[in-house]
Amino acid sequence: MDTLLGRHAETAQLTALLDAARQGRGGALVVKGEPGIGKSVLLRQAEQAAAGFLVIRATGAQFEMELPFAVLHQLCAPLLDRLGDLAPPQRTALEVAFGLASGTPEPLMVGLAALGLLLDAVRERPVLCVVDDAQWLDHASAHTLAFLARRIGTERIAMVFGAREPGPAALADLPELGLRGLSEAEARALLAQAVHAPLDERVRDRILSESRGNPLALLELPRTAGLAGLAGGFDVPTVIEQSYLTRLRALPEPARTLLTVAAAEPVGDAALLWRAAEQLGITADAAARTGGLAEFGTRIRFSHPLARSAVYGAATAGERRRAHAALAEATDPAAEPDRRAWHRAQAAIGPDEEIAAELDASAARAQARGGIAAAAAFLERSVALTTDPEARVERVLAAARAKLAVGAFEVAADLLSSVESDDPRFDVLRGRLSFARYRGGGDPAAYLLRAARALAGADPARSRACYLDAMEMGVLTGELAAIVDAAGSAPPGTGTSTDTVLDGLVTLVTQGHAAAAGPLRPIVRRLDDEVWAGRPSLGYLAAAELWDIEVMRGTAERVVATGRESGAFHLVPIGLAMLATVRAHTGAFGPAAEMISEEEAIASATGAAPLVYPRLHLAALRGRREEAMALFADVPPRMSLSARWAAAVLHNGLADYPAALEAAEAATASGDLGMSGLALPELIEAAVRSGRPERAAAALRELTARAEAAGTGWALGVEAYCRALVTGEEDGYLEAIEHLRTGPMAVNRGRAHLLYGEWLRREGRRRDARAELRQAHEQLSELGAEAFAKRAAGELRGTGEQARSRTTEAEQLTLQEVHIARLVAEGATSKDVAATLFLSPRTIDAHLRNIFRKLGLTSRRQLRDLPEIR
């Protein structure tokens, strides 16, 4: 690769990226810098240096940001003849995303399909993907391209992005190459190359000063600003654009009009451009007179992104409207209805109800294709064109909801403040917006409570729904008690599911479990009831409060299924985290690791942070101190209660009872739904072992009330062994073992045997103790509850029997490797596993080689014979 002036290190970095890709070590690089700094030149140089590569290109466009998957479509266009080689779900997802089929695409399935196209192409030769103007990527393409960039580490694929600062948030964690201005010496050398005539030293110094080492400014300034002097006080992008404007003004009017139409049509579709030009009476010879500002071939390309923006900015409002109107007229309404609607909207002089309605339809289509960001943009523009006041209110609400969904919080807030309305739906959205923006700050429940009070007379049902929504927020923000007080003034219900849950939770907080469990239990167990559709977290926590592990599992599975079916992949990790936690509590540590691995795979693919609490619960139940302590540092404030429960379990397993007591006290102090109740048994055990019988007795009274109200085997079994701990009566241990003998709560079952064995040993009944402790050790060891198993082993030694150690090679595996090993042991191919974990088959094969090395295996068949993998 030839080295550009002043870009030796940057050129070397791009060369290294290409060389690594040739050897199967793919990667991505985001070249960032101000306009004119040389990003596009470096990208073109990378293309020229990619000998033997298939080079595919795409360019972000400011006006194209509203259309979902627009840039991804550009990038995949040369590979679409390979669509037939993809698995049917992937092919369908990509066809839907590109508008070739109807339906709702799963975003990660679209990414996997795009990866499949690249992997198919790379079998023939390495692939270089070049994406310029990445700051203008549409939302859906940005996330998909980021997914691809994170999944090519073992492939012959390189991806290079060019972006202005700060660039798309979706690409923020990719490696970056920041471009700065040239040094003075380099700038002088470039200027000398550009200007061959003698140059006055004062003029040269002025050019060097104004350009600040920006290469494009150095090349453009002498061309158009003249050598006699330069106007001062403007920044580099303005200087460069002014250079393009000077060139533009010298062109004949037909050429300028043609360039304006080209600037307004960012896709570069030549056929569309010439149809629009014909509408304006412009002939093909105008292309030859555009002064090199754009190339008119099979696709239209401007000489630089700033040339496009300069041309569009130089046009008057009327000229821009004429260009968009011509493009709208030239766009096929059947094939491209959304692009036509957008151009019509840009061409509108003022409010236009017909166009606003078209934009509404475009928003619905975009949302159906997974383009919520595009839907939000269409709706926002629709608001501006709406004439009917009532329709405006509805469209503002729809646009604000969409902007909230894509994280455009400031725009959503501006939309909500643009209409003076006492409609309570505005307060509902303000509450959700406040919660999304501040996560516990900003008093989000206050808006919902205000909406609830406003609706009390006119619409009692919606009023009560708002109170319930506020209550769910209160659970997550630690303000449940205050919201329950407010909900006491809710209008009377009519017996709906919402009424039952609202009244039940108010009763739970104010009167206790005995009064609330009866009404709540049936509705909590109706997993498909509409009351839980938008409140899965509330349903999950209510089930935990009633000690109903099957409902917790069902709720989690429903969240995962809903997320997969709807393509709402923000739901899938939440459901997987819930499900992993349920699996961990039941002692199914292997499946829990699978759920966590898949959740982490989605987080990695989307650039999100993985959810820490399922990993923390699993580490605590396993008794892995170092792993758990490292995770505690990553716990967000909203999950502190969950972390304190985990700390109490961890320290009880390690027999560090003072630390367990401190954590359990903190976990039970708030009285919030879910974990505070589950922390009571940990508090009781730690208090008894720490010599605090009075504290244990008080906690037992509360636990007994909860367990009797819940009535599940889990609750009654745990309450029984806690009662035995406090009273010292043997019957409680026997009762606990009987309650827990069947059912999924294997960890509690093993702990019941452990506690009974410890009591028997202290009573001097060594033979009986030995039998219980042996059973406890076997059960807990089999589960992988290492700390509790070690406690059992220590107690067993005290009876004169040596516990058999149980170590497995599988303990060396990471969570992801365990997941892969289990899937392969069940017969999945590398391609199947790759689809599950959003990885490439080559990456799966690399993981399998590590798994075989760690386990001393030579074939997939041997995995099926390992019980710890099965």
Choose from 196-200, 454-458, 633-637 the range with maximum mean pLDDT.
Answer: 454-458
Alpha helices, DSSP H, located in 546-692: 549-566, 571-585, 589-606, 612-622, 625-632, 640-653, 657-669, 675-678, 680-689
Q: What average pLDDT score do residues 544-558 get?
A: 94
Peptide linkage before 105 cis (omega within 30 of 0): no
Distance CA 474, CA 276 (A): 56
- Per-domain residue ranges for the chain? 8-178, 184-249, 424-533, 711-806, 810-865
Just give the CATH number of 810-865: 1.10.10.10
Number of neighbours of residue 218 by Cβ within 10 angstroms: 28
Alpha helices, DSSP H, located in 225-304: 236-249, 253-264, 270-279
Q: What average pLDDT score do residues 799-826 get?
A: 75
Higher model confidence: residue 674 or residue 336?
A: 336
Same fold, 8-178 and 810-865: no
| 231-289 confidence digits (pLDDT tens) | 333 344 555 667 778 888 889 999 999 999 998 886 678 889 999 999 999 998 899 99
pTM metric for this prediction? 0.69
> Which contacts of 552-558 are long-range, i.e. CB under 8 A and separated by 24 or more positions?
552/578, 552/582, 553/579, 553/582, 554/527, 555/527, 556/581, 556/582, 558/527, 558/528, 558/532
3-state percent breakdown (helix, strand, coil) of the chain, nearest 5: 70, 5, 25
Distance CA 635, CA 539 (A): 23
Residue 387: pLDDT over 80 = yes
In the predicted model, what is the mean pLDDT of the chain?
Answer: 84
Q: What average pLDDT score do residues 405-430 get?
A: 82
| 650-701 confidence digits (pLDDT tens) | 999 999 999 999 999 998 987 777 778 999 999 999 999 999 999 999 999 9
pLDDT at site 477? 66
Share of the chain above pLDDT 90, in %: 39
| 3-45 confidence digits (pLDDT tens) | 566 688 888 999 999 999 999 999 999 999 888 788 888 999 9
The contacts of residue 274 (CB under 8 Å, 6+ apart) are 284
Alpha helices, DSSP H, located in 26-138: 39-49, 70-76, 88-97, 107-122
What is the CA 378 to chain-centroid distance, rounded?
A: 23
Alpha helices, DSSP H, located in 50-152: 70-76, 88-97, 107-122, 139-149
Q: What average pLDDT score do residues 759-788 get?
A: 93
pLDDT at site 487? 87
Q: Taking the C-alpha atoms of 289, 293, 296 and 302 in order, what is their torsion angle to the nearest 10 degrees?
A: -170
Q: What average pLDDT score do residues 547-564 get?
A: 90
pLDDT at site 35? 80
Q: Which of 629, 702, 634, 618 is nearest to 663 (CA)?
A: 629
Residue 807: pLDDT over 60 = no
728: its two tokens: 């010292």
Residue 606: pLDDT over 80 = no
Angle at 743 between CA 564 and CA 615, to 5 degrees: 50
Q: Tell me the CATH architecture of domain 8-178.
A: 3-Layer(aba) Sandwich (3.40)
| 66-109 confidence digits (pLDDT tens) | 677 889 999 999 999 999 888 888 888 888 888 777 766 677 78
Q: Which of 523, 473, 464 is nearest to 499 (CA)?
A: 464
Distance CA 548, CA 582 (A): 11
pLDDT at site 553? 95
Residue 203: pLDDT over 80 = no
Residue 86 near residue 94, CB atoms below 8 Å = yes
The contacts of residue 253 (CB under 8 Å, 6+ apart) are none
Integer-rounded Cα Rg, in Å, for the chain is 32
| 121-164 confidence digits (pLDDT tens) | 998 999 999 999 899 888 888 888 988 998 888 899 999 999 98
Residue 221: pLDDT over 80 = no
Helices and strands in the chain, H and E counts: 44, 7
C-alpha distance across the termini of the chain, in Å? 52
Residue 230: pLDDT over 70 = no
Q: Which of 222, 225, 197, 61 is nearest to 134 (CA)?
A: 61
Higher model confidence: residue 14 or residue 433?
A: 14
pLDDT at site 232? 38
Residue 63: pLDDT over 80 = no
pLDDT at site 163? 92
pLDDT at site 365? 80
| 339-357 confidence digits (pLDDT tens) | 898 899 989 988 999 999 9
pLDDT at site 642? 81
48: its two tokens: 């020229």
pLDDT at site 610? 77
Give 407-448 as a 3 state SS string. CCHHHHHHHHHCCCCCCHHHHHHHHHHHHHHHECECCHHHHH
Q: What average pLDDT score do residues 388-396 get?
A: 89
Place of tokens 């009404």: 519
Amino acid at 839: L
Q: What average pLDDT score do residues 772-787 get?
A: 93
Specify which residues 31 forms β-bridges with. Answer: 162, 177
210: its two tokens: 């104004």
| 695-754 confidence digits (pLDDT tens) | 999 999 999 999 999 999 999 999 999 999 999 999 999 999 999 999 999 999 999 999
Residue 616: pLDDT over 60 = yes
What is the CA 575 to chain-centroid distance, rounded?
A: 13
Higher model confidence: residue 516 or residue 473?
A: 516
| E strand spans, 509-632 | none
| DSSP secondary structure code for residue 840 in this structure | -
pLDDT at site 460? 92
- DSSP 3-state assignment of 865? helix
Distance CA 183, CA 32 (A): 18
The sign of the torsion formed by the CA atoms of 689, 680, 698, 709 equals negative
pLDDT at site 4? 67
Walk across the sheet containing 27-32 and list its strands.
54-59, 127-132, 157-163, 27-32, 176-178
pLDDT at site 8? 83
Task: Label residue 227 by pLDDT band (50, 70, 90).
Answer: very low
Higher model confidence: residue 703 or residue 335?
A: 703
Distance CA 529, CA 472 (A): 16
Residue 302: pLDDT over 60 = yes
Pairing assessment for the beta strands 300-302 and 294-296 based on DSSP bridges: antiparallel
pLDDT at site 228? 38
Distance CA 601, CA 592 (A): 14
